[in-house]
Structure 1
């Protein structure tokens, strides 16, 4: 037996060190600093350790809890619309574009994907102008097809504003699930589809019985990416409705609530410690959701044991 010690592979350390340093400086350190800030408060401009008091106030004190639970509920609805509208449409578009009889596939892929590269600010202001009852083109377009009676100032009504912005977000990002599912469909071996044709499984029946079970892992990844992205959302709401997320906070989500709390807005003074508590709560929600997916869903998706 050889007594030679295993050689340390220094080249791995050398290549990983820059990435680890950058990631730690811009991700790990800010995360732990946020957690630290959430455990303190300021009294007469003196920072004092408060333990979990900020979280108690955030969850149970009506001064903070009402706004927090309203923002969380809005965030959940924002996510649900994306799951029920964006992802199914993305899957449908991918299934259509993957059909060999469809022509100009590259053109259609580009058309659906281009909105995803647009700035949130551009999308927010553009749709705000389009839906405006004063100078927007939406009333005229509905009038042209005889549906003007259906028009309403959707961004100005509490019951419609959040849903409207969620659908705008769906319009912008439907290209992402479409492209991911399209790529997953292309990886399905032709032999499997040919075997299904021999058994008489063709057309949409082949999609439901063969293709869909094989792309479930990709759908799972899209779902968790949608969850993380929606619970980190901020830009579109801020661009379209401002930091107050009107009307009457009906479009307020955790991102806008965090912004107003941390930095302050108009007559509201900024409170970094309560803002850090909100950010920590957002991190906890996302962490729980990701863990549920990784340990409770991903294994089943891989084994198709539903």
Structure 2
């Protein structure tokens, strides 16, 4: 088995108290919360504008590869649905999921500073574990309807957004209906609207592939439950934004204002 590439300036082994290394669980992280296609990149850019020199930890994909995927699969996995299955297996043994994995890592604070940002957490289990286990962490949660997320995935052309499977049938509506679990995520009207995206130049194969990603993600993470929990936290710990009701400029402004109001000394600089 090939060893995974190490995460830069991060490790799992304990470190002496007097060293520059510290558990991420003890640092005042700002954590982005949201599933694929909700607009986390906009929020991240806004945070960087408020805090020049902000350190951004390796993202969810990198931590997932190093801590979850490689140990279970013995190598890299690119198919999104297979990755969801492997991360679900990890969560079965580690209920905190990504929050538990991230909080257990040791960080070299001479590189990452004492208040880096992580993108991101998903679902109630991860968010609740993070908030209750790591009281110094703060959260920016972004949400958008699932049909909107499919449209955004179609527009961003991210090579990571792919799943295995043959080309759909000529009737894209039938192919969408055949996705396992689709009825729990999309209404019949939403499926009709997604099928109609072929008129905007999107291929049937891409429409079905992106819908499958959203359905697979929703099978493993519940954004609404995570947001409901975050609403119980004090305002200085959690900011929740609807990225459909707010345009990108408004999302960025809301994040900037929230970050500047933080009690964190670094955010006040």
If the TM-score is normalised by the length of the shorter chain, which range does it land in?
A: under 0.3
Give the greater-gyration-radius structure (CA).
1
TM-score calculated relative to the size of structure 1 = 0.23
Higher helix share: 1
TM-score calculated relative to the size of structure 2 = 0.25
Higher strand share: 2
